[in-house]
Chain A
């Protein structure tokens, strides 16, 4: 009973344990450079996936501009640390301050883009965020050599690798704690209520704009944090990396892990990053092109098997969650959290526009007038 209270924090505990193990290892026998780099990559991917899940899974809005927020964080955080270098050197203080600055600037961008854009319906929000990402990319690409490096990219200070990965782990743990705590509070419930039924949420007194903005800002903050970590991990950042393709990569992690499931995001981000890195080391030379092909095929197959209405009975039979529940003799209909299976989570990418040849745009009210006559 006591343990049940901490159910939501299992993943955080596990990751803390992993962090401690790796820290001990690196202090003791030392870790290979490539292992540390891979760890950092995974940590960054997990932070990105978990923070995007906040918007896509819990708020139910589709964002295709997560890499844009990451880009802002990476550049501003990286620049800040470079400016502070003469004063602070490559100390932990500089590292932490830059991470916070990067996160805050990204959060500010989230507020600026979110405030007007969140009025839009789901799929349009996706397009606006995609546009935002491309705008950010284009702006940083055309900066001068002295300010943000322009097309050549921005060099960031070199922090001690072993120190960096420990702070990355800490950032990850904080991300998980914040997101878990948020989702298990009244603010989180308000956010999920908007996802489930926006009209009912309004009628229940939820300030929809405010909570949408909360989710959006917190999500962009952590995207910014991940960006700063990325810039320190790679020593150099190039804005061309942060196009919509990168946002989509993060989205794929969220979707494959299970929309609205934090643990799912962690697992998917870890596995995808790990497998991609492994593929890249195994498939060298002429075989390198196979990496993307395999990735694409696996992606399509997983989504079709996971979602095809025709395969419903097949999935019912082999539902891992239900099998698990059977073993533990739980009643599968009771739940303790909102982590439902992802195909059941409504995302508000509603595809309801009409195909038309009309050159005149009907007044919205008159469309509403035909539809809104009282139903039966």
Chain B
């Protein structure tokens, strides 16, 4: 079991009487790019919310690198190594691009600096601040955001906002990155670029990626394995090609 980065065990949640997710078992190996697909309302974002501590699972549990994270707070789960982006972009809109990334960096142990040191501008503050800014610039360069670093993040074009959100998530040094519809609203060129970027960051940061996407070209071109959800339950899982060609999946998507 040690070789799985993420392992969910019968994960599920019930809202009132509605089972939004049920018996979800996902196993993701290290450095995999794993897809979570399914029609609208299948429970994909709900699973992300379970994995990041927004909701408390009513059944089952999940492990990150063998450690159980169920019941931990959102920030604690982030510190343990799960970072995410959101379906509807959630940036810190009134802050500059670089500050968005700096917020992501601020909880890393290597940039420790307490409130007292910050307020009274002790040497430690300048040291960590410099290190954080250097790291942030490095991250922004990877996502082609370096030139815009002092812009207000809400002034960025849509595609760049998505990139910034990924950069901010990566700044928290995760071992598992959750991307919620990263290609939504992008044109084919941008989508192709994004695929390259995701592969690049997987290799460069040595992370594992779990993503939700509706664009099947994107999924089949990028994901090693996928899980197909429908009505909160797992329909099919496994190798991308095989799973997407499964008659059950086709039925769920086009009906019949």
A-B complex is real? yes
Residues of A within 8 A of B (CB): 178, 181-182, 185-190, 192-193, 195-197, 199-208, 214, 260, 333-336, 338, 340, 344-346, 363, 365-366, 368-369, 372-376
- A193-B95 in contact (CB<8A): yes
Knowing A186-B113, A204-B168, the reply to whether A197 touches B91 (Cβ < 8 A) is yes
A133 to chain B, nearest CB (A): 26
A selection of 23 A-B contacts at a CB cut-off of 8 Å is A181-B120, A181-B121, A187-B115, A189-B99, A197-B91, A199-B90, A203-B84, A203-B90, A203-B169, A205-B104, A208-B75, A333-B155, A334-B96, A335-B150, A338-B94, A338-B96, A338-B99, A365-B15, A368-B15, A369-B15, A372-B20, A373-B18, A374-B43
Cα-based distance from A373 to B14 in the complex (angstroms) = 11
Cα-based distance from A335 to B150 in the complex (angstroms) = 6
Contacts A189-B99, A372-B46 known; 17 new A-B pairs at CB < 8 A: A188-B118, A190-B106, A192-B99, A196-B92, A196-B95, A199-B86, A202-B74, A203-B83, A204-B104, A206-B103, A207-B75, A334-B96, A336-B96, A369-B15, A373-B18, A373-B20, A374-B44
- A185-B75 in contact (CB<8A): no
Q: Which residues of B contact A196 (CB under 8 A)?
A: 91-95
Instruction: Give the 6 A-B residue pairs with the shortest CB-CB distance, closest first.
Output: A369-B15, A185-B118, A205-B78, A196-B92, A200-B90, A202-B74
- A334-B150 in contact (CB<8A): yes
B234 at interface by CB-CB < 8 Å: no
Among B79, B88, B129, contact of A186 (Cβ-Cβ < 8 Å) = B129
- B152-A372 in contact (CB<8A): no
B107 to chain A, nearest CB (A): 4
Among B74, B75, B152, contact of A335 (Cβ-Cβ < 8 Å) = B152
B254 at interface by CB-CB < 8 Å: no
Interface residues of B in 129-163 (CB under 8 A from A): 129, 132, 150-152, 155
Among A186, A199, A205, contact of B118 (Cβ-Cβ < 8 Å) = A186
B31 to chain A, nearest CB (A): 22
Q: Which residues of A contact B106 (CB under 8 A)?
A: 186, 189-190, 205-206
Q: Which residues of A contact B240 (CB under 8 A)?
A: none
Q: Which residues of B contact A372 (CB under 8 A)?
A: 15, 20, 46
User: B112-129 vs A: 1/0 string, CB under 8 Å?
Assistant: 010100111100010011
- A185-B119 in contact (CB<8A): yes
- B92-A200 in contact (CB<8A): yes
B2 at interface by CB-CB < 8 Å: no
Cα-based distance from A182 to B73 in the complex (angstroms) = 26
Interface residues of B in 182-227 (CB under 8 A from A): none
- Closest A residue, CB atoms, query B43: A374
B4 at interface by CB-CB < 8 Å: no
- A197-B92 in contact (CB<8A): yes
- Closest B residue, CB atoms, query A372: B15
A347 to chain B, nearest CB (A): 11
Cα-based distance from A188 to B118 in the complex (angstroms) = 9
B41 at interface by CB-CB < 8 Å: yes
Cα-based distance from A143 to B196 in the complex (angstroms) = 71
- B94-A346 in contact (CB<8A): yes
Q: Which residues of A contact B100 (CB under 8 A)?
A: 193
Interface residues of B in 37-93 (CB under 8 A from A): 40-46, 52, 54, 73-75, 78-79, 83-84, 86-88, 90-93
Which of under 10, 10 to 19, 20 to 34, or 35 or more describes the interface residues of B? Answer: 35 or more
- A204-B169 in contact (CB<8A): yes
- B52-A201 in contact (CB<8A): no
B228 at interface by CB-CB < 8 Å: no
Q: Which residues of A contact B83 (CB under 8 A)?
A: 203-205
Knowing A197-B92, A344-B94, A374-B40, the reply to whether A214 touches B151 (Cβ < 8 A) is no
- B45-A375 in contact (CB<8A): yes
Q: Which residues of A contact B79 (CB under 8 A)?
A: 205
Cα-based distance from A214 to B115 in the complex (angstroms) = 9
A195 to chain B, nearest CB (A): 8
Q: Which residues of A contact B155 (CB under 8 A)?
A: 333
B256 at interface by CB-CB < 8 Å: no
Of B83, B125, B152, most A-chain CB atoms within 10 Å: B152
Q: Which residues of B contact A195 (CB under 8 A)?
A: 94
Q: Which residues of B contact A185 (CB under 8 A)?
A: 113, 118-119, 125, 129
Q: Which residues of A contact B92 (CB under 8 A)?
A: 192-193, 196-197, 200-201
Q: Which residues of A contact B169 (CB under 8 A)?
A: 203-204
A260 to chain B, nearest CB (A): 8
Cα-based distance from A373 to B19 in the complex (angstroms) = 10
- B84-A369 in contact (CB<8A): no
Q: Which residues of B contact A208 (CB under 8 A)?
A: 75
- Closest B residue, CB atoms, query A217: B115
Cα-based distance from A274 to B57 in the complex (angstroms) = 58
- A178-B119 in contact (CB<8A): yes
Cα-based distance from A20 to B83 in the complex (angstroms) = 51
B179 at interface by CB-CB < 8 Å: no
B172 at interface by CB-CB < 8 Å: yes
Knowing A189-B103, A373-B41, the reply to whether A366 touches B15 (Cβ < 8 A) is yes
Q: Which residues of B contact A199 (CB under 8 A)?
A: 54, 86, 90
B16 at interface by CB-CB < 8 Å: yes
Cα-based distance from A366 to B14 in the complex (angstroms) = 10
Q: Which residues of B contact A346 (CB under 8 A)?
A: 93-94
B196 to chain A, nearest CB (A): 25
- B151-A334 in contact (CB<8A): yes
Among A190, A214, A336, A374, contact of B46 (Cβ-Cβ < 8 Å) = A374
